[in-house]
């Protein structure tokens, strides 16, 4: 069995082994696609095969775009990594936090842009917080307005005290708007998606793009049984809201363009430089101290060997055979998975549309990574 026959065989087994009705995957090396494979069906009746034209809510895989945008602003001198968030969003200048004994206290540590990017800002992912829920009553509320509501409720801890996966990158999206003077979607489009040649990556999909949306499911148990759920993105908190943490719709052919560029030091296949090499290296460097990393590792067994950088997990321990230190990437709530290897200039992007899938994160993604490297290291 050749290298890519082994990878194809793994993907072919995904529907039966993991309860995923359809998936799509691309691998690039040196900014050239070297593998492309799709499996299964994109409709609930099992009659429409998965197609490269299928669109997906990529959820938290959006974070790679948002943090890339932030790194560009740092390069441009419009954003400082260690600047107070309140320099850009004044409402974050008088924060409170809730202690373990239930008392609410003034924050003593400055919330900085770095805290947003490395998820140590003290926020959580609770979309039912009172101030946020009240603001969401306005279906046209802007990104800045909704993010401002997050500053009204207490943080979970002092900034920098712990790692907690959260709405930090949604706040970062608002910071990008303030620093750039543009809507998040416009800045991402003008500096990332359009120059790299992405045709279907957007915070505001057209009806044509939505008509190609792969059916969205949720796993209902650990055996991979599933049911069709709503087809919208629950992190779009209003019609105008642009979630820097989870708001994008994309395709495999689009996403691999950014992942591949980052694997090649920020240089895209078409010659467009999305980031400088030193920015990519900073993004993919460990940004957690020992306490914060303990929090990160507690999230999942699949995190073993990894830490967190600026919006990405990064391999910092040689615990996975053949996978080089410095491999980085992230995933999304419906099973999207980006792997970026700057050592070998390899990128992989995998898409599916099944939410609440413990199986995907604990088993499928690590097995897919390991299969890729078994192929490449033959």
Which CATH number fits the domain that encloses residue 145? 1.20.58
Calpha distance 122→156 (Å, rounded): 5
The residue out of 129, 151, 180 marking a domain boundary is 180
Q: How does pLDDT run across 357-376, given as a tens digit for each residue?
A: 999 999 999 999 999 999 99
Q: 100: which DSSP letter? A: T
Q: Is 90 exceeded by the pLDDT of residue 3?
A: no
Beta bridge partners of 202: 249
E strands, the chain, are 22-29, 32-40, 56-57, 96-98, 104-106, 217-219, 226-228, 249-250, 306-308, 313-315, 328-331, 337-341, 346-351, 354-355
Q: How does pLDDT run across 199-233, given as a tens digit for each residue?
A: 999 999 999 999 999 999 999 887 778 899 888 99
Calpha distance 153→166 (Å, rounded): 14
Q: Is 50 exceeded by the pLDDT of residue 169?
A: yes
Calpha distance 73→66 (Å, rounded): 11
Q: Is 80 exceeded by the pLDDT of residue 356?
A: yes
Q: Which domain holds residue 113?
A: 79-180
Q: 157: which DSSP letter? A: S
Q: Is 60 exceeded by the pLDDT of residue 175?
A: yes
pLDDT category at 165 given cuts 50, 70, 90 is very high
In a shared domain, residues 188 and 297 = yes
Mean of the per-residue pLDDT values of the chain:
96
Query: What end-to-end distance do the CA atoms of the chain give, in Å?
Result: 11
Mean pLDDT of 261-282: 98
In a shared domain, residues 252 and 311 = yes
pLDDT at res. 2: 58
pLDDT at res. 220: 82
Number of domains the chain contains: 2
In a shared domain, residues 365 and 303 = yes
Cβ neighbours around 164 below 10 Å, total: 20
Residue 232 three-state SS? coil
Calpha distance 274→325 (Å, rounded): 23
Mean pLDDT of 251-268: 98
Beta bridge partners of 105: 97
In a shared domain, residues 153 and 213 = no
Instruction: Kindly report the pTM of this predicted structure.
Output: 0.97
Burial (CB count <10 Å: 0-12, 13-18, 19+), residue 124: middle
Residue 264 CA to its chain's centroid (Å): 19
Closest to 256 measured CA to CA, from 365, 339, 313, 372: 339
The residue out of 154, 180, 206 marking a domain boundary is 180
Cβ neighbours around 366 below 10 Å, total: 18
The residue out of 161, 180, 199 marking a domain boundary is 180
Q: How does pLDDT run across 23-56, given as a tens digit for each residue?
A: 999 999 999 999 999 999 999 999 999 999 999 9
In a shared domain, residues 353 and 213 = yes
- Which H helix or E strand runs over 372? helix 365-376
Q: Is 60 exceeded by the pLDDT of residue 261?
A: yes
In a shared domain, residues 227 and 325 = yes
In a shared domain, residues 114 and 101 = yes
In a shared domain, residues 292 and 357 = yes
CATH number, residue 226: 3.40.710.10
pLDDT category at 145 given cuts 50, 70, 90 is very high
In a shared domain, residues 69 and 212 = yes
In a shared domain, residues 176 and 190 = no
Mean pLDDT of 314-331: 95
Helices (H), 167-222: 168-180, 184-188, 194-196, 207-210
Measured CA to CA in angstroms, residue 270 lies from 53, 195, 273, 359 at distances of: 21, 9, 9, 36
Calpha distance 372→347 (Å, rounded): 10
| 4 vs 60, higher pLDDT | 60
Burial (CB count <10 Å: 0-12, 13-18, 19+), residue 305: middle
In a shared domain, residues 223 and 353 = yes
pLDDT at res. 221: 81
pLDDT at res. 1: 46
Residue 24 three-state SS? strand
Q: 59: which DSSP letter? A: G
pLDDT at res. 230: 82
Residue 221 CA to its chain's centroid (Å): 24
Contacts 24+ apart (CB under 8 A), 278-281: 279/71, 279/72, 279/74, 279/75, 280/71, 280/342, 281/342
In a shared domain, residues 244 and 352 = yes
């Amino acid at each position: 069995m050749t290298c890519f026959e082994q990878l194809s065989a793994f993907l072919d087994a995904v529907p039966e082994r993991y309860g995923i009705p359809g998936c799509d995957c691309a691998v690039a090396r040196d900014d050239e696609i070297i593998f492309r494979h799709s499996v299964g069906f994109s409709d609930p009746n099992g009659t429409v095969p998965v197609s490269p034209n299928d669109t997906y809510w990529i959820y938290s895989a959006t974070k790679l775009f948002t943090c890339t945008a932030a790194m560009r602003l740092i390069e441009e001198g419009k954003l400082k990594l260690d600047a107070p968030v309140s320099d850009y969003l004044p409402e974050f200048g008088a924060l409170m936090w809730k202690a373990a004994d239930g008392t609410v206290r003034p924050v003593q540590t400055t919330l900085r842009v770095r805290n947003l990017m490395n998820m140590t800002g003290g926020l959580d992912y609770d979309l039912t917080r009172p101030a946020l829920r009240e603001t969401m009553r306005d279906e046209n509320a802007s990104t800045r307005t909704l993010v401002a509501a997050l500053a009204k409720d207490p943080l979970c801890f002092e900034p920098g005290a712990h790692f907690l996966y959260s709405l930090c990158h949604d706040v970062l999206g608002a910071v990008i708007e303030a620093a750039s003077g543009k809507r998040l979607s416009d800045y991402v489009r003008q500096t990332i998606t359009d120059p790299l040649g992405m045709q279907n990556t957007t915070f505001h999909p057209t009806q044509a793009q939505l008509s190609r949306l792969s059916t969205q499911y949720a796993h209902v148990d650990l055996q991979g049984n599933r049911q069709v759920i709503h087809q919208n993105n629950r992190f779009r908190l209003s019609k105008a809201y642009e979630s820097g943490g989870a708001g994008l719709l994309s395709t495999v052919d689009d996403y691999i363009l950014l992942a591949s560029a980052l694997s090649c030091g920020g240089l895209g296949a078409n010659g467009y430089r999305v980031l400088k090499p030193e920015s990519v290296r900073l993004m993919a460097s460990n940004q957690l101290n020992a306490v914060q990393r303990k929090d990160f590792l507690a999230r999942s067994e699949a995190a073993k060997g990894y830490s967190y950088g600026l919006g990405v997990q990064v391999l910092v321990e040689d615990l996975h055979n053949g996978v080089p230190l410095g491999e980085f990437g992230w995933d999304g709530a419906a099973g999207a998975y980006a792997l970026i290897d700057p050592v070998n200039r390899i990128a992989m992007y995998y898409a599916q549309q099944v939410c609440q899938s413990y199986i995907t994160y604990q088993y499928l993604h690590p097995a897919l990574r390991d299969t890729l490297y078994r192929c490449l290291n033959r």
